[in-house]
Amino acid sequence: MTLVGLLFTLTGCGGGGETRAVTTTKVGGVASKGIISGGTVNIYALDANGAKTGPPLATTTTESDGTYSADLGSYSGPVKVEVTGTYTDEATGLPVTIGTNNPMRAMAAGVFPRTAPFSATVSPLTDLAVSSLPTSFNTTAITAANAQISGLFKVSDITTVKPVAPTKIAMDGATTDQQAYTLALATVSQMAKTNSGGATPTFTQVTTVLTDINTELKATPTELTNTAKKFTDGLTEVTKPGAKLTGYTAANAVLGTVGVAPLKLTLAVANAGAYSVQGDIVLPLGSSVRIVNTVTTVVAKDLLGGIFTAGSGAAGAYTQATLTPPSGLILGFVHFNVVTTGGFTGTDVATLIIDVSSSTTKAADFILKNVKVTDVNSAAVASPQVTLK
């Protein structure tokens, strides 16, 4: 072996000289009420009762598009994110400042060292989730609060979906989920503007709107009748013809049932030896499911991720579902497939999240059609025993 070859071999053998990447905890997201550019972001550790444990783990600044990122080192556990800074009010187009005495907040139930950063969007909706928590709470309560507000305001996840600037360029390039989130934030501004008699609302007035929503939330957690009416009026104003947020029909439709908790349907198969099930779920008037593609030429539209998922009796199953929207007098329906390689291990094989216009809507209001259950040989099972509950 040559000297160069020997040196190459020795340096490639480690010998204590090998450098390994250190994985740390990273948190990032968007701060928006609209977009907060140049804002200050403080991230705090929380104890087992939800209280801050001390000074911020990290402090950073938002970029021009409202995004931020921070490295928390080796920290693992729940965090609270607080943002201050200036944004352009969507309802009036004028600047509004969020001060240190009333920061906009968000919480994440648990972060830890990993390669990918954890997402923590900070918005009035995440602030509402924080406000809905009791004085003392644990990580389970944080997760539940975020899920509750996500469901009531028809955003798949208020902490991971990133709202965009309320401009045509940003909105045209956004997903329906992002568009709906952005429209929801603009609507909250319009609600605050209405409360302030048409003047540009301060962030304190925005939080007053959130306080009113929270009060109703505690009284009737599954249906916010007063909030829904005010939200609908505000949404109509910010999306009316000539407004800068007009024309986003799919996102507007998603927000049509704001204030009513989604209905979770469970698809159950009682046939022994079943390996797959397919069929259609007919949607009654006033109900809808969230979709990915909104192209008008596509008849069957793919459902948003997490809307139709495998149940406990079909772990690891392939699931697929599409929406055929209503047309004239014909009701819309969801066509579904659940396929396993080893057979169903329980009766609950899938769940479907449906947005409803009334909390009185129940599983019995939905109709199953064209149902087919197959066995290990892909042969149809006689007398399919399939129900919704």
Whether 124 has a pLDDT exceeding 50, the answer reads: yes
Please provide the CATH number assigned to the domain covering 263-388: 2.60.40.680
DSSP code string of 44-72: EEB-TTS-B-SS-SEEEE--TTSEEEEE-
Give the residue, 300 or 13, on which the prediction is more confident.
300
- Is 299 within 8 Å of 276 (Cβ atoms)? no
Residue-level pLDDT at 329: 85
The pLDDT value recorded for residue 11 is 45
More confident site: 23 or 159: 159
- The pLDDT assigned to 17 comes to 54
Q: Where are the domains of the chain?
A: 23-260, 263-388
Burial of 99: CB neighbours in 10 Å, binned 0-12, 13-18, 19+: exposed
- H or E element, residue 348: strand 348-356
Res 298 pLDDT > 90: no
> Which helix (H) or strand (E) is 105 found in, with range?
strand 104-111
From CA 21, how far away is CA 85, in angstroms rounded? 34
Q: How far is CA 255 from CA 182, 211, 236, in A?
A: 11, 20, 11
Question: Which residues lie below 8 Å from residue 100, measured CB to CB, with a gap of 6+?
Answer: 84
